[in-house]
Structure 1
Amino acid sequence: MTKVFLTGATGYIGGDALATIVAQHPEFTYSVLVRDSDKAEQVKAQYPNVQIVLGNLNDSSILERESAAADIVLHTADASDHVGAAKAIAAGLVAGHSKEKPGYWLHTGGTGILTFDDTDKNQYGNRSDKIYNDWEGVDELLNLPDHAFHRNVDQLVLEAGAKHADVLKLALVCPPTIYGKGRGPVSGRGRQVYELAKVTLQLKKGPIIGAGQSIWNNVHVHDLSDVYALLVDAAVAGRTDPGLWGADAYYLTENGEHIWGELAQSTAEAAAKLGYIPERKTEAFDLESAKKYAGFESVSWGLNSRGRAQRARKILGWQPSRPSLLAELPEIVRSEWERLQK
Structure 2
Amino acid sequence: MKFSTAIAISCQIRRPFLSRIRQESPATLKYIFSSCVTGATGYIGGDVLFALTQTFRNSNISALVRSESRASQLTNKFPSVTPVIGDLDSTAKITSEASEADVVLRKTLSLFVVVVGTLTKEKDLASSNHLASATAIAQGLTESKREKPVWIQISGASLLSGPDITANTYGEPRSQEFNDLQGISEIRSIITSSPKRAVDNLLLKLSATNPHVRTAIIYGPLIYGRGRGPVNQRSIQLPDLAKSTIQHGHGLQVGRGLSCWSNIHVSDIAQLVVKLTQEASSNSQNPSIWNENGIYFAENGKMPFGEISQRVASFAAEQSFIKDPTVKSIDADAADKLTAHGAVLWGTNAQYTAARARKLLGWEPQGPSLEEEIPRAVKEEASQSNSKL
Q: TM-score, normalised by structure 2?
A: 0.83
* Contact 2:46 2:230 (C-alpha < 8 Å) held by counterparts: yes
Query: Aligned residues: percent identity?
Result: 33
Match of 2:133 among 85, 97, 112: 85
C-alpha contact 2:63 2:82 (8 A) present in aligned 1: yes
C-alpha distance in 1 between matches for 2:140 and 2:221:
28
Unaligned runs of 5+ in 2: 1-30, 102-109, 119-124
| DSSP 3-state at the match of 1:247 | helix
| Structure 2 residue 155 is the aligned partner of structure 1 residue 109 | yes
Shift of 1:148: 4.4
Shift of 1:263: 0.6
Partner of 1:128: 174
Secondary structure of 1:2 counterpart: strand
Deviates more, 1:287-296 or 1:324-333: 287-296
Q: How far is 1:7 from its partner?
A: 2.4
The alpha carbon displacement at 1:150 in A equals 5.2
Classify the secondary structure of the residue corresponding to 2:58: coil
Q: Is the 8 A contact 1:116 1:148 kept in 2?
A: no
Contact 2:191 2:201 in 1 (8 A): no
Partner secondary structure for residue 239 of structure 1: coil
Task: In structure 1, give the amino acid aligned to 2:265.
Answer: H
Q: Which residue, 103, 107, 113 being the options, matches 1:74?
A: 113
Distance 1:318 1:149, change over 3 A: farther
Paired residue for 2:289, among 220, 244, 249? Answer: 244
Distance change (3 Å), C-alpha of 1:291 and 1:267: same
Q: CA RMSD for the aligned pairs?
A: 1.9
Q: TM-score, normalised by structure 1?
A: 0.94
Would the aligned equivalents of 1:178 and 1:219 in 2 still touch at CA under 8 Å? yes
User: Aligned in 2, Cα 1:66/1:52: closer, same or farther, shift over 3 Å?
Assistant: farther
Cα offset, 1:145, TM superposition: 6.2
Go from structure 1 to structure 2 and tell me whether the alpha carbon gap of 1:56 and 1:147 turns closer, same or farther (over 3 Å shift).
farther
Name the one with the larger strand percent.
2
Q: 1:8 aligns with which of 39, 45, 49?
A: 39
Name the amino acid aligned to 2:133: A
Give unmatched runs, 5+ long, in structure 1: none
Structure 1, residues 276-304: CA drift from partner, whole Å, max 9, x if none? 11131211001111211112134321100
Q: Does 1:339 align with 2:384?
A: yes
State how many pairs are aligned.
339
Q: Deviation at 1:185?
A: 0.6
> Partner residue of 1:201?
246
Q: Is the 8 A contact 2:42 2:231 kept in 1?
A: yes
2: distance between equivalents of 1:148 and 1:116? 10
Is residue 118–residue 303 contact of structure 1 (8 Å, CA) maintained in 2?
Answer: yes
Shift of 1:42: 0.8
Contact 2:332/2:342 (<8 A) preserved: no
SS in 1 for 2:185: helix
Deviation at 1:275, TM superposition (A): 1.6
Contact 1:115 1:148 in 2 (8 A): no
Is 2:96 the partner of 1:51?
no
